[in-house]
Protein backbone atom coordinates (compact mmCIF):
# COMPACT_ATOMS: atom_id res chain seq x y z
CA UNK A 1 0.00 0.00 0.00
CA UNK A 2 1.31 3.43 -0.90
CA UNK A 3 2.21 6.02 1.71
CA UNK A 4 0.42 8.81 -0.14
CA UNK A 5 -3.00 10.19 0.65
CA UNK A 6 -6.06 8.69 -1.01
CA UNK A 7 -8.65 10.87 -2.69
CA UNK A 8 -12.15 9.67 -1.88
CA UNK A 9 -14.65 8.79 -4.61
CA UNK A 10 -18.35 7.90 -4.50
CA UNK A 11 -19.96 5.02 -6.39
CA UNK A 12 -22.32 6.19 -9.15
CA UNK A 13 -25.28 4.04 -10.25
CA UNK A 14 -26.02 3.09 -13.86
CA UNK A 15 -28.50 6.00 -14.10
CA UNK A 16 -25.85 8.50 -13.02
CA UNK A 17 -27.07 8.85 -9.42
CA UNK A 18 -24.41 9.37 -6.77
CA UNK A 19 -25.55 6.51 -4.52
CA UNK A 20 -23.31 7.51 -1.63
CA UNK A 21 -24.54 11.10 -1.57
CA UNK A 22 -28.13 9.92 -1.79
CA UNK A 23 -27.59 7.75 1.29
CA UNK A 24 -25.84 10.56 3.19
CA UNK A 25 -28.64 13.00 2.30
CA UNK A 26 -31.10 10.59 3.94
CA UNK A 27 -29.35 10.80 7.32
CA UNK A 28 -30.00 13.34 10.05
CA UNK A 29 -27.67 16.37 9.66
CA UNK A 30 -25.59 15.43 12.72
CA UNK A 31 -24.78 11.97 11.38
CA UNK A 32 -24.05 13.27 7.89
CA UNK A 33 -21.72 15.95 9.31
CA UNK A 34 -19.92 13.35 11.38
CA UNK A 35 -19.30 11.11 8.37
CA UNK A 36 -18.23 13.97 6.12
CA UNK A 37 -15.86 15.27 8.78
CA UNK A 38 -14.17 11.86 8.97
CA UNK A 39 -13.97 11.50 5.19
CA UNK A 40 -12.40 14.94 4.98
CA UNK A 41 -9.72 13.96 7.49
CA UNK A 42 -9.09 10.59 5.85
CA UNK A 43 -8.41 12.35 2.56
CA UNK A 44 -5.60 14.29 4.19
CA UNK A 45 -3.70 11.66 6.12
CA UNK A 46 -1.56 9.03 4.47
CA UNK A 47 -3.48 5.90 3.58
CA UNK A 48 -1.08 3.86 5.72
CA UNK A 49 -2.07 5.97 8.73
CA UNK A 50 -5.79 5.14 8.64
CA UNK A 51 -6.45 3.40 11.91
CA UNK A 52 -9.11 1.55 13.83
CA UNK A 53 -11.66 2.70 15.01
CA UNK A 54 -11.68 5.43 12.33
CA UNK A 55 -11.61 2.70 9.72
CA UNK A 56 -11.64 -1.10 9.79
CA UNK A 57 -10.03 -3.53 7.36
CA UNK A 58 -12.75 -6.13 6.83
CA UNK A 59 -12.14 -9.87 6.69
CA UNK A 60 -14.07 -13.02 5.85
CA UNK A 61 -16.82 -12.51 3.28
CA UNK A 62 -15.89 -8.82 3.08
CA UNK A 63 -12.16 -9.39 2.58
CA UNK A 64 -10.67 -6.61 0.47
CA UNK A 65 -13.10 -3.98 1.72
CA UNK A 66 -12.48 -1.23 4.25
CA UNK A 67 -15.21 0.28 6.44
CA UNK A 68 -15.27 3.93 7.46
CA UNK A 69 -16.78 3.77 10.95
CA UNK A 70 -18.94 6.29 12.76
CA UNK A 71 -20.90 5.95 15.96
CA UNK A 72 -23.66 8.52 15.87
CA UNK A 73 -25.29 10.48 18.66
CA UNK A 74 -28.22 8.03 18.65
CA UNK A 75 -25.75 5.15 19.18
CA UNK A 76 -26.22 4.01 15.60
CA UNK A 77 -23.05 2.52 14.09
CA UNK A 78 -22.82 3.79 10.54
CA UNK A 79 -20.55 2.07 8.05
CA UNK A 80 -19.37 3.17 4.61
CA UNK A 81 -17.68 0.30 2.77
CA UNK A 82 -15.10 1.02 0.10
CA UNK A 83 -11.90 -0.24 -1.48
CA UNK A 84 -8.50 1.06 -2.49
CA UNK A 85 -8.88 1.84 -6.16
CA UNK A 86 -9.55 1.82 -9.02
CA UNK A 87 -6.22 3.66 -9.31
CA UNK A 88 -3.37 4.21 -6.90
CA UNK A 89 -4.13 6.99 -4.43
CA UNK A 90 -7.88 6.52 -4.71
CA UNK A 91 -10.42 5.10 -2.29
CA UNK A 92 -13.93 4.48 -3.63
CA UNK A 93 -16.96 4.29 -1.35
CA UNK A 94 -19.23 1.51 -2.61
CA UNK A 95 -22.03 0.79 -0.14
CA UNK A 96 -23.36 2.20 3.11
CA UNK A 97 -25.35 0.85 6.01
CA UNK A 98 -25.32 0.24 9.73
CA UNK A 99 -23.80 -2.38 12.02
CA UNK A 100 -25.31 -3.82 15.17
CA UNK A 101 -23.59 -6.60 17.13
CA UNK A 102 -21.42 -7.56 14.15
CA UNK A 103 -24.47 -7.73 11.87
CA UNK A 104 -24.71 -5.36 8.96
CA UNK A 105 -27.85 -3.81 7.59
CA UNK A 106 -28.33 -4.48 4.73
CA UNK A 107 -27.11 -7.99 5.51
CA UNK A 108 -25.73 -8.42 1.98
CA UNK A 109 -23.77 -5.14 2.05
CA UNK A 110 -20.56 -7.03 1.21
CA UNK A 111 -22.09 -8.58 -1.91
CA UNK A 112 -23.48 -5.21 -2.94
CA UNK A 113 -20.06 -3.61 -2.51
CA UNK A 114 -18.26 -6.34 -4.48
CA UNK A 115 -20.77 -6.04 -7.32
CA UNK A 116 -20.29 -2.30 -7.46
CA UNK A 117 -16.52 -2.66 -7.31
CA UNK A 118 -16.66 -4.66 -10.54
CA UNK A 119 -18.71 -1.88 -12.17
CA UNK A 120 -16.28 0.80 -11.00
CA UNK A 121 -13.29 -1.18 -12.19
CA UNK A 122 -14.90 -1.67 -15.61
CA UNK A 123 -16.03 1.96 -16.04
CA UNK A 124 -14.03 4.22 -13.74
CA UNK A 125 -14.89 7.33 -15.78
CA UNK A 126 -18.65 7.03 -15.32
CA UNK A 127 -19.25 4.81 -12.30
CA UNK A 128 -17.55 6.90 -9.65
CA UNK A 129 -17.11 10.58 -8.90
CA UNK A 130 -15.10 12.61 -6.35
CA UNK A 131 -16.85 12.54 -3.00
CA UNK A 132 -19.40 15.31 -2.64
CA UNK A 133 -18.92 17.10 0.70
CA UNK A 134 -22.22 19.03 0.51
Partner 1 sequence: MISDKEHQIQDSLANKEYRDALAVEHVNTTLAIQIRKMREARQWNQSALAERLSKHQETISQWENPDYGRYSISTLKELASAFDVALLVKFIPFSELVEDMVHLSPIRLCPPSFDEERTRAISRTPNSPTAMDQLFNDINDSLNRHPHLASLPSTVGPYDPNRI
Interface residue list for partner 1 (CB under 8 A): 4-5, 7, 29-30, 32-34, 36-38, 40-41, 44-46, 49, 51, 53-54, 69-71, 89, 130, 132-134
118 or 130: CB nearest partner 1 = 130
Tell me which residue of 84, 89, 68, 96 sits closest to 120, measured CA to CA: 84
**Torsional sign, CA 111, 114, 120, 121:** negative
76 or 108: CB nearest partner 1 = 76
78 or 83: CB nearest partner 1 = 78
7 or 57: CB nearest partner 1 = 7
CB of 7 to partner 1, least distance (A): 7
CB of 37 to partner 1, least distance (A): 4
Indicate the helix (H) or strand (E) that contains 38. helix 29-42
CB of 108 to partner 1, least distance (A): 26
Q: How far is CA 33 from CA 15, 70, 111, in A?
A: 26, 11, 27
Alpha-carbon span 3 to 87, nearest angstrom: 14
Tell me which residue of 65, 52, 77 sits closest to 110, measured CA to CA: 65
Amino acid sequence: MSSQVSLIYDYVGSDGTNIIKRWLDGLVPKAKAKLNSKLNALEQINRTEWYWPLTEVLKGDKDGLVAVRVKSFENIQYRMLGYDGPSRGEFTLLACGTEHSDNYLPANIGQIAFGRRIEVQANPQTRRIRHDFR
